Chain A
Amino acid sequence: MNGRSRFDLRTLVVDAILLSLALVLSIAERWVPLELIVPVPGIKLGLANIVTLFALLCLRPWDALAILVVRCLVMGAIAGPMTLLFSLSGGLLAFLVMWLQKPLLNKVFSVIGISLAGAAAHNAGQVLVAGLVLSEPLLIVAYLPLLLLAGLLTGTLTGVAAAPVVRLGMEKGFWNRKLQNSGPGCARIAPRGKA
């Protein structure tokens, strides 16, 4: 695995930083009263999806999944079990769809396209779970179109925000460079071109 194990120190630190960022974005987006601008009940920007998208495209799927699941667990612990259920169902479905699209990046889909499908899958996952929890199929049919249309807007916004970061992450290749040990307990990143 390019000279590093699944749980090496750098991966752990990078994942932890991205997890913190995802949590801050999740909390911050609760302060944005988006439903006042776009009158769709339950609409959210989905800013934390930028982090999932970056981790999925620039790191490994395993890192993206770990960041996603831990974020949902922490948000669930803060906001309650219903939030956990909704964010996990939507998040996992979005992750699955975006992971399936990953091999088609830059051939069929751009980062915006992947974000768009992720947002649609996230909304669909949440509304499916809500319909199942309340045993009300009409809920799915009534809310899904509104949330799909809202997802076009939010998915595009998060995709536009993620695209430059993803491009930079992929071009610079920082994340895939090998670690060089330069002393006991000390690790540094290999200079460019020597990786």
Chain B
Amino acid sequence: MAAAGGESAAAAVRANRAAARTGWRQWLRWGDFLLYGVIAGSAVLLLLILARQGGAAAASAALTRDGEVLMTWSAAELAIGGAAEIDSNGYHYRLVWEKGRIRFAEAACPDKVCVQSGWISRPNQIAACVPGRLVLKISATKPGLTDPSEPDVVVR
């Protein structure tokens, strides 16, 4: 009896598993798969376009508020490293840069999306803070042209 009971229980488990599998297949419709494809495809396409536009040129950075440039960093300055503090729209921020990259290290804004953005180093990468109205952006320094803020010669 016990064996028969065990067999029927196992059969029920198998049937449940099979039902769960077909259930999932029945649950999704063809439009869902299309949506997955369209959303993932457009995201990947945008990422590729951004990466292509950015290129591998030397990068400089700029911090702006409502289009007004507050601070700029040349590629050489970004490579040397440093830190700065700034107040904007009632919030306090600390920026850190090193090895050609820069980030919002600390922010007193409510959502901290700017800090979560982490290090940015490639052209067209951006870290923004909507409450503080700050945009930190990396731009490509065109090859062949020297950054006017960079020194012409460095004597060691």
Contacts and interface: CB of A to CB of B under 8 A. Distances in A.
Interface string A140-158: 0111111011011000000
Given A116-B32, A116-B35, A163 B27 contact: yes
A120 B133 CA distance: 24
B30, B46, B118 — most chain A CB neighbours (10 Å): B46
B43 A134 contact: no
B44 A112 contact: no
Contact of B40 (A41, A42, A152, A163): A152
Interface of A: 35, 39, 41-42, 79-80, 82-83, 86, 104, 106-110, 112-113, 116-117, 120, 130, 133-136, 138-139, 141-146, 148-149, 151-152, 163
30 contacts: A39-B118, A41-B118, A80-B131, A82-B130, A82-B131, A83-B110, A104-B31, A108-B30, A108-B31, A109-B31, A109-B35, A112-B32, A116-B35, A130-B130, A133-B130, A134-B66, A134-B128, A134-B135, A136-B135, A138-B124, A139-B128, A142-B125, A143-B126, A145-B44, A146-B43, A148-B39, A148-B42, A149-B39, A149-B43, A163-B27
A138 B111 CA distance: 20
A144 B46 contact: yes
B111 to A, nearest CB: 7
Contacts of B43: 144-146, 148-149
Interface string B1-37: 0000000000000000000000000011111100110
Contacts of A144: 43, 46
B128 A110 contact: no
A110 B23 CA distance: 12
B67 interface: yes
B86 interface: no
B124 A142 contact: yes
Given A42-B111, A109-B35, A134 B130 contact: yes
A142 B50 contact: yes
Contacts of B64: 136
Nearest to B114: A41
Interface size class of chain B, counting residues whose CB lies under 8 Å from the partner chain: 35 or more
A112 B28 contact: yes
A46 to B, nearest CB: 15
Interface in B74-95: none
Contacts of B36: 116, 152
Contacts of B44: 145
A141 B110 contact: no
Contacts of B128: 130, 134, 136, 139
Nearest to A160: B27
B70 interface: no
B27 A110 contact: yes
A160 B67 CA distance: 42
B117 to A, nearest CB: 5
Given A135-B67, A142-B126, A41 B27 contact: no
A41 B117 contact: yes
Given A113-B29, A116-B36, 19 more contacts: A39-B116, A42-B116, A82-B111, A82-B130, A108-B31, A110-B27, A110-B32, A112-B27, A112-B32, A113-B32, A134-B135, A138-B124, A139-B128, A141-B49, A141-B124, A145-B47, A145-B50, A152-B40, A163-B27
